Amino acid sequence: MFSQIKEDIQCVFARDPAAQSVFEVLTTYPGFHAVLIHRTSHWLWVKGMHWPARYLSFLGRWLTGIEIHPGAQIGRRFFIDHGMGVVIGETAVIGDDCTLYHGVTLGGTSWNKGKRHPTLKNGVVIGAGAKVLGPIVIGEGARVGSNSVVVKPVPDGVTVVGIPAHIVDDKTKLDRTLRDAMAQKMGFDAYGATDLPDPIANAINLMLDHIQQMDKQIEIMCQKLNDAGIKCGGKQLAQLDDCQIKDKD
């Protein structure tokens, strides 16, 4: 257990650039305090001393604002950043090198005994305010976006966002060079939808892609018509570079 505590201290420096010293971590980090208390309360729980374990867990919640049931199984180098409002249920299982931010709930969806809380594999990161509910598995290296609600299993290495949470599919990303330039000229940052897929911004992205393809096809058609002796393209279209949304005074 002492080697785990030493690793818990070291992982704070790896994941929080604000950490200045071991003394600071020991005295001012509620996330570390909560994990330290849980290591002890879980040891009591495993030994069958359930009431002392629950009482120590209760004191930990009162001191840190973080509620971890002593029955929860937590791996090595576990880090809770900020921590206020974190809730981890009795049958939750957390692997090594996982990180939780404030307001995260690893909760159950049933009143029945038995496995009813999530399992996080190694290297999972859960963003602030996210809720992971039920006996589901969050795959190794997965990321859960802030304020997401996860009710289905998450594969290894993916990022999920939204309510209900869905996978951000990097494989379907289009070439963003022209889109980014157009969006910047038009006064908004639409490319953010690819990383965090807001439906409105995603629709704008699709329209920008469509406009690009239409421009290319019209240019080819005009060239073919001109080659055939049919005058085309006499009227100069405004360039997107000239399209700017001016800020109000």
CATH of 2-168, one of 2.60.40.1930, 3.40.190.10, 2.160.10.10, 3.40.50.970: 2.160.10.10
Q: List the structure tokens of 228.
A: 């055939």
Strand order in the sheet with 105-107: 67-68, 87-88, 105-107, 131-133, 149-150
pLDDT digits (tens, 9 = 90+) for 115-157: 999 999 999 999 999 999 999 999 999 999 999 999 999 999 8
State pTM to two decimals. Answer: 0.66
pLDDT of 246: 46
Confidence of residue 1 (pLDDT cuts 50, 70, 90): low
Confidence of residue 72 (pLDDT cuts 50, 70, 90): very high
Confidence of residue 170 (pLDDT cuts 50, 70, 90): low
pLDDT of 236: 66
The domain ranges of the chain are: 2-168, 177-242
Average pLDDT over residues 53-75: 95
pLDDT of 191: 34
Confidence of residue 183 (pLDDT cuts 50, 70, 90): low
pLDDT of 249: 47
Confidence of residue 227 (pLDDT cuts 50, 70, 90): confident
Average pLDDT over residues 96-125: 93
Strand order in the sheet with 143-144: 79-81, 99-101, 125-126, 143-144, 159-161, 166-167
Q: List the structure tokens of 183.
A: 């969006």
